[in-house]
């Protein structure tokens, strides 16, 4: 274990400052103990209240792992089977051909063949003011009515293709309620929160406000954090509020293969099933990568098995990740959507296993893009250009060359980076060269040689 996490803390602070995140909390677990925790920034800007590692945040889609674990617990109790048809518990779905052959397994693994339908997005975006669209989704009846045209949108038969489906996890919550005989939230609280001593992890507005220690949600607009509201109603797809200390207990249970401080929470084989790859997302940072039951899994995180999930509800973001064989894990929470917390978590885990996270391709590429952006000028300043970072790309604009050329990364080494754009449907190469510290940067675009001035 690498005990010096100063660089990790500095990385968190730098990314918060760069993307204007109001606050961020993190906790790293090793061998059943929290070995590092950090709380940065303000849980409420307006009153300058500092956040702490006890502060609650929305965990978004990390909630899905709790729903999957709840299903696993019901399998253990003999109440259902992973391969039961979804219509066994939700017969109102029988009227839609889209659900023919769809098992609980398919909803857990996002492999039902139904593409994302957007009800959760509308719910969240409407609440925080990013859309005026509205589709009520307060109950199973609402969701069934919303899906009245779903038969025309099915892409493939179950088990053939990965489509991240929030609606599927809403249905998983309903299955838990039907099979257990109690509301989904009560079952999860009784069977997971309570035995894991997650005493400050909540589902409802009333419980969160009664507790009082929660981060104010924010939207980042024009480089400033604007106070927003908590988008309640995401249920089993993304409705839990928690903190990094409680989430450390949750990770500890996974690392303990279903046990928490010598108390069994769920059978070991359920944990193993959750961490088995069943479906393949369309994009991945790693080889041998896929989705299990409520968890993303790769068996080759620089030679280690990595299990993780992240989440966002627009005004809260989250990341949870662990390495089972190394008995370590990390959780990170923030009260805005700005920097990718997945990268923060992976940065921390790489530091822990003694690997330099700055050599991790996304971190290395990000640093390069930031260094390349700026103002450029040609010979004697006759022509100028601007290079700006936009996500994974650069945007080039300037005199004589036009605006908003999208530059796509192609190759890079210690002295040069090559990008390309399209001109009249033809590929046009753009070359950047620099010294080792990237302090002196030049660009060649078409006929011009530019030097970066700032």
Q: What is the pTM of this model?
A: 0.94
- Beta-bridge partners for 200: none
Within 8 A by CB and 6+ apart from 24, the residues are 12, 16, 38, 39, 40, 41, 51, 332, 333, 334, 341, 344
Sign, Cα dihedral of 267, 269, 275, 277: negative
> What letter does residue 414 receive in the DSSP assignment?
S
Residue with the two structure tokens 């050599």:
359
- Beta-bridge partners for 442: 433, 451
Within 8 A by CB and 6+ apart from 150, the residues are 96, 98, 114, 117
Count of CA atoms in the C-beta half-sphere (13 A) of 399: 10
Q: Taking a C-beta distance cutoff of 8 angstroms, is the pair 241, 233 a contact?
A: no
3 state DSSP class of 35: strand
pLDDT, position 195: 98
* Span 6-359 CATH architecture: 3-Layer(aba) Sandwich (3.40)
Domain ranges of the chain: 6-359, 365-452
Pairwise CA distance, residues 405 & 397, whole Å: 6
3 state DSSP class of 139: coil
CB-count exposure of residue 10 (10 Å: 0-12, 13-18, 19+): exposed
pLDDT, position 439: 76
**Fold type of domain 365-452:** Lipocalin (2.40.128)
Q: Taking a C-beta distance cutoff of 8 angstroms, is the pair 373, 388 a contact?
A: yes
pLDDT, position 438: 63
Chunk the chain into consecutive blocks of 10 residues (it has 454) and report each block's average pLDDT, rounded to whole numbers. 81 96 98 97 97 98 98 98 98 97 98 96 93 89 95 97 97 98 98 98 97 97 94 94 98 98 97 98 91 97 96 97 98 96 97 96 94 95 95 93 93 93 93 84 95 90
Q: Taking a C-beta distance cutoff of 8 angstroms, is the pair 255, 203 a contact?
A: no
Q: Quote the tokens at residue 134.
A: 């509205």
DSSP assignment of 303-323 equals TEEEEEEEEE-SS-EEEEEEE
């Amino acid at each position: 274990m690498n005990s010096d996490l100063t660089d990790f803390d500095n990385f968190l602070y730098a990314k918060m400052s760069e993307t204007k995140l109001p606050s961020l909390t993190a906790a790293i677990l090793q061998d059943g103990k929290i070995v590092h925790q950090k709380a940065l920034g303000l849980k409420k800007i307006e009153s300058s209240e500092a956040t702490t590692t006890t502060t609650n945040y929305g965990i978004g889609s990390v909630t899905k792992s709790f729903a999957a674990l709840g299903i696993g617990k019901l399998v253990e109790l003999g109440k259902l089977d992973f391969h039961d048809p979804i219509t066994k518990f939700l017969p109102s779905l029988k009227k839609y051909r889209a659900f023919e052959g769809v098992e609980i397994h398919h909803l857990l693994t996002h492999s039902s063949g139904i593409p994302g339908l957007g009800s959760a997005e509308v719910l969240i975006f409407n609440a925080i003011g990013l859309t005026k669209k509205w589709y009520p989704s307060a109950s199973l009846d609402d969701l069934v009515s919303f899906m009245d045209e779903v038969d025309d949108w099915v892409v493939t038969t179950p088990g053939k293709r990965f489509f991240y489906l929030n609606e599927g996890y809403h249905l998983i919550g309903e299955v838990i309620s039907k099979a257990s005989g109690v509301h989904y939230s009560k079952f999860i609280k009784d069977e997971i929160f309570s035995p894991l001593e997650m005493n400050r992890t909540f589902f409802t507005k009333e419980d969160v406000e009664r507790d009082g220690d929660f981060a104010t949600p924010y939207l980042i607009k024009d480089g400033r954090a604007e106070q927003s509201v908590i988008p309640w109603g995401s249920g089993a797809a993304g409705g839990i509020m928690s903190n990094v200390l409680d989430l450390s207990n949750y990770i500890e249970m996974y690392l303990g293969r279903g046990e928490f401080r010598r108390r069994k929470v769920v059978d070991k084989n359920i944990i193993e099933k959750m961490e088995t790859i069943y479906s393949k997302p369309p994009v991945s940072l790693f080889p041998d990568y896929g989705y299990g039951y409520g968890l993303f899994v790769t068996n080759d995180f620089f030679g280690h098995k990595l299990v993780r999930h992240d989440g966002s509800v627009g005004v809260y973001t989250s990341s949870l990740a662990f390495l089972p064989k190394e008995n370590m894990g990390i959780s990170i929470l923030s009260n805005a959507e700005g920097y990718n917390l997945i990268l923060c978590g992976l940065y921390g885990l790489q530091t822990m296993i003694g690997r330099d996270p700055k050599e991790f391709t996304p971190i290395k590429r990000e640093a390069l893009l930031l260094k390349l952006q700026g103002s450029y000028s040609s010979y004697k300043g006759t022509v100028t250009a601007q290079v700006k970072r936009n996500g994974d790309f650069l945007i080039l604009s300037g005199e004589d060359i036009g605006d908003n050329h999208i530059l796509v990364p192609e190759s890079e080494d210690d002295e040069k980076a090559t990008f390309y754009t399209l001109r009249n449907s033809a590929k046009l190469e753009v070359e950047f060269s620099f010294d080792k510290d990237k302090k002196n940067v030049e660009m060649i675009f078409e006929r011009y040689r530019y030097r970066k001035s700032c």
